[in-house]
Each structure stands twice: as C-alpha cells, then as structure tokens.
C-alpha cells in the first residue's frame, strides 16, 4: 500500500454518482484507497462494493440494515466495521485520516455529513447540490473557515469551475466575467404541451434523454427545478449575483456550461454527457486522469442547438430564481417543498403539473426568516416540509 494514495470516503456509494465514482476509482488503484462507503437501502450493492474495495467503515441507514450487511460480510475478510445512522455518516465524513469526501447522498439528508466534511477541512467533492441550496451561507462559511477545498461535481458547475481562471471567484466584475451561462438539456418534456404535461407518469419523467441518474434528480430535470437548484448552487459557489446567471437550453448536453467575459470571449467546457468526467476531474484535481469516457466526436454530433428556457411551462425555474432573490430561508423552503412534491409525484399521489403549485403555495405560507446557523436551516427545512405535505395532500380539484 502506497502512503501517497488519496484516502476517499464515498457518501451515497450505491447511487448513480456513487457508482460512477467507484468506477473511476477502480481504474486507478495506485491513486485511491477507499476508506468508507455509505448507503441508505441497497445493502446488497453496498456489500458487493465492500468486497471489492475493503473499506474500513460502511454506514447504512438503520440498525436492521447494519445487521444484514454484517451478516453478508462475515466470511468476506474485508475487515469492515459496519455502523448506522446520521452520526455515523458525520463521523466517516470527518475521519482524521480521510483526504477526500465525495458527497453524493441525494437531498437534504446529505447536508449534515457534507457539512461535517467541510468543518473537518477535507477536499469535498460536492454532488449533493441540495445541501448548498438549503444552507448556502452557512456551508460556504464553514468551507472558508476550515480551509476545505470545495470542488463541484454537478457537470455544469464543474464546467464553470474549469472555465474560470482560478475556479472560484471573489469578485466576478473585477475578474472581467460578464455572465455565467448554465446549460440545461430541457429534460424529457421540452416539447410537451401543458395538457400533455398533466398526464406524465414517474417512469416517463425518469427517462432522461441524455443522462442516467437517480429518480429524484431525474424528476427535477423534467420540471427544470434541477436547473433552478443549480442557479442557486452557482450563486454560492461562484459568488455570482442572480442577474449574472443565465440559463440556456441546449438539448444535446455537450456544452456543460460557459463563462462569458467582458471582452466578448465565451469559454466553455465540452464533453460527452458522462458524470465520470467531472468526477475524475475533481478526484485527480489539479491533475487529469483517465475516466473511461468515450472521446467526444463532434462530427458525429454535427449540430449543437440552443434556445431560451420557457418560464411559463416550467415554473420551477422562476420559483428558484425568486427564492434566490428573497434569500434567507426561502431556498431551504423551496428545496424542502420540492423534495416533498417530487416524492408525492413518484408515489403517484400528485400530478406532475402540481409540483410547482405545491412549491409556490409552500413558499407563500412559510414566513421569511434569516439563516445564520445550521439550526436555522434545519428549522426552515422542517417548516417547508410540513407546509408542503399539507399542500400536496389537497385533492387536485380543490387546489
Ligand atoms: P441516487 O438516488 O442514485 O443515489 C442516492 C444515494 O444516496 C444512494 O446511495 C442512497 O443510498 C443514498 N441515500 C438516499 N437517501 C438517503 C438518506 N436519507 N440518508 C443517507 N443516504 C441516503 O442519486 P444520484 O443521482 O446519485 O444523486 C446524488 C446527488 O448528486 C443528488 O444530490 C443529485 O442532485 C446530484 N447529482 C447527480 C447527478 C447524476 O448524474 N446522477 C448529476 C449531478 C448532480
Ligand atoms: Mg447538473
């Protein structure tokens, strides 16, 4: 074992980002050592990953899942200690011997462990955009205060990071940046009429034209809330005011985002839509490594198209811009309402077109508060969830 190997913790190892991360890691055994893995439900898959990478720790959601995992690993000789629950997630995210933490839990559940990694000053690879949307000011303060290195995994933000001179920005104006252009595929329903949108099913919403992702982010892409969350994420990551962040619909998902400069230059990052590119970029940063991604064949693609987003058919994008403008607890309430509404849609309790309605009603019914601490963020999340559950429970006719 080489002492210079990067010691890695993967939170959400069994998800789409987690699996892609381990795919890149497995290509470079001389560079990376897996220290800990986590998963909520898929114990079988986590057991397989433990057999392959022999992590020191594996964390699952419940004691019952932990007992099952221990059972599965008993004869394997991996030497893995199995733990359960949120405190265990915070513990593995801040292990003194860990260099790098991949935060790939979906939704608000990922906030506390991601924050623990920031507080421990780790190299933090952030896929869990909801954490930053909810807790922007608190999160960025912890990153700065503890010298954590925050590298975005979201393909758009990774592209912007690569297109800015120093990745980050303290003052876009001074650095000659006019606008950040976030590209959006437009999702599977880009061309659907409002009437047709009313009828769409969870499986249709999860069939993304370019990316294979977890179900929650797939629905977010279909409503374009994903882009809304990404606008807020870009605001915090790049210190960018709302009016400098623009969304451009680009159905091929080849340009992952762009930065426009005062002199008229536009710098973009391109690649096949494969999350292993931003993952490998961040894992190896500042070096470059093989990611197993096919080379980009522009001649085969032929044409790149662009259009303006339709704020009327995709109200979630407007709601997210508005929440960013309002600041305080509004982004956390927006995120909580979205998680509740998406879950209700995936359970077939809510029509697709009611997702933005539930979020809008929730934002209108939760009073505005300042956000200064993690407790404030968690309170906003709880209030948003409670209100959204009420609004999502109203039968469709009365809504
Ligand atoms: P996923 O649903 O495929 O995987 C989620 C992972 O989180 C799983 O390992 C699951 O076990 C774990 N998890 C779920 N609920 C949990 C809980 N309550 N507590 C602890 N762990 C829990 O999701 P994904 O598509 O991999 O997305 C992960 C994150 O990355 C999301 O925030 C998403 O927005 C972001 N992201 C994903 C993609 C993508 O291509 N999939 C791209 C950009 C950003
Ligand atoms: Mg993205």
One-character DSSP codes across 101-139: EEE---SGGGHHHHHHHHHTT-EEEE--HHHHHHHHHHH
Nearest ligand 1 atom, CA 12: 9
Q: Is position 269 within any domain?
A: no
Q: Is position 20 within any domain?
A: yes
226 close to 152: Cβ distance less than 8 angstroms: no
Domain of residue 120 covers 6-152
Tell me, using a 6 A CB cutoff, whether residue 275 lines ligand 1.
yes
Give the closest ligand to the alpha carbon of residue 86: 1
Q: Is position 77 within any domain?
A: yes
- Those residues whose beta carbon sits under 5 angstroms from the ion ligand 2 are 154-156
Q: Is position 87 within any domain?
A: yes
pLDDT reported for residue 144? 96
Instruction: Give the pLDDT confidence of 55-91 residue by residue, as tens digits.
Output: 999 999 999 999 999 999 998 999 999 999 999 999 9
Query: 193 burial class (0-12, 13-18, 19+ CB within 10 angstroms)?
Result: exposed
Find the 110 Cα to ligand 1 centroid distance in Å. Answer: 9
Find the 348 Cα to ligand 1 centroid distance in Å. Answer: 21
* Integer Cα distance of 118 and 99 in angstroms: 12
If pLDDT is split at 50, 70 and 90, which confidence band does 3 have? Answer: low
Q: What is the CATH number of the domain that holds 47?
A: 3.40.50.720
Instruction: Give the pLDDT confidence of 286-337 residue by residue, as tens digits.
Output: 999 999 999 999 999 999 999 999 999 899 999 999 999 999 999 999 999 9
Tokens 């209100």 belong to residue: 387
Q: Is position 73 within any domain?
A: yes
Q: Is position 136 within any domain?
A: yes
Q: What is the pTM of this model?
A: 0.97
Give the closest ligand to the alpha carbon of residue 211: 1
Nearest to 169 by CA among 240, 231, 118, 267: 240
Tell me, using a 6 A CB cutoff, whether residue 16 lines ligand 1.
yes
- The SS3 of residue 11 is strand
Spatial neighbors of 192 by CB under 8 A, at least 6 apart, are 200, 313
Domain count of the fold of the chain? 1
Nearest ligand 1 atom, CA 226: 34
Q: Is position 372 within any domain?
A: no
Q: Is position 54 within any domain?
A: yes
| Percent residues over pLDDT 70 in the chain | 98
Find the 236 Cα to ligand 1 centroid distance in Å. Answer: 20
> What token pair was written down for 224?
């374009």
Choose which residue among 16, 115, 336 to substitute to test ligand 1 binding: the one with the highest number of ligand atoms within 8 A of its C-beta: 16
Nearest ligand 1 atom, CA 213: 41
Find the 154 Cα to ligand 2 centroid distance in Å. Answer: 5
Q: How far is CA 133 from CA 55, 108, 272, 318, 335, in A?
A: 30, 9, 26, 15, 7
């Amino acid at each position: 074992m080489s002492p210079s190997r990067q010691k890695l913790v993967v939170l959400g190892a069994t998800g789409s980002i987690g699996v892609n991360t381990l795919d890149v890691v497995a290509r470079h055994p001389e560079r990376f050592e897996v220290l800990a893995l986590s998963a909520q439900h898929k114990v079988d898959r986590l057991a397989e990953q433990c057999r392959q990478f022999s992590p020191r720790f594996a964390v699952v959601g419940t004691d019952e899942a932990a007992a099952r995992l221990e059972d599965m690993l008993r004869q394997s000789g991996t030497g893995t200690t199995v733990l359960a629950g949120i405190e265990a997630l915070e513990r593995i995210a801040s292990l003194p011997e860990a260099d790098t933490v991949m935060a790939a839990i979906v939704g608000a559940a990922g906030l506390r462990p991601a924050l623990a990694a920031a507080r421990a000053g780790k190299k933090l690879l952030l896929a869990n955009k909801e954490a930053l949307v909810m807790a922007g000011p608190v999160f960025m303060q912890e990153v700065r205060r503890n010298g954590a290195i925050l590298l975005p995994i979201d393909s758009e933000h990774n592209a912007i990071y690569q297109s800015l001179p120093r990745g980050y920005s303290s003052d876009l104006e001074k650095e000659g940046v006019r606008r950040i252009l976030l590209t959006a595929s437009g999702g599977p329903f880009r061309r659907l009429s409002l009437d047709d949108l009313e009828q769409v099913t969870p499986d249709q919403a999860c069939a993304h034209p370019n990316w294979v992702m977890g179900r929650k982010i797939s629905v977010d892409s279909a409503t374009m809330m994903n882009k809304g969350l990404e606008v807020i994420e870009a605001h915090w990551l790049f210190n960018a005011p709302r009016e400098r962040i623009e969304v451009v619909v680009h159905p091929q998902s080849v340009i992952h985002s762009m930065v426009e400069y005062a002199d008229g230059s536009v710098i973009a990052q391109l690649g096949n839509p494969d999350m292993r590119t931003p993952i490998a970029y961040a894992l190896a940063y500042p070096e470059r490594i093989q990611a197993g991604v096919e080379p980009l064949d522009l001649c085969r693609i032929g044409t790149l198209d662009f259009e303006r987003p339709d704020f009327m058919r995709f109200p979630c994008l407007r709601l997210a811009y508005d929440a960013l403008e309002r600041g305080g607890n509004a982004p956390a309430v927006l995120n909580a309402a979205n998680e509740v509404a998406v879950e209700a849609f995936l359970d077939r309790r809510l029509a697709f077109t009611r997702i933005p309605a539930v979020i809008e009603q929730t934002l209108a019914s939760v009073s505005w508060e300042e956000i200064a601490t993690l407790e404030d963020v968690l309170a906003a999340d709880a209030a948003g969830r409670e209100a959204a559950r009420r609004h999502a429970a109203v039968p469709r006719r009365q809504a």
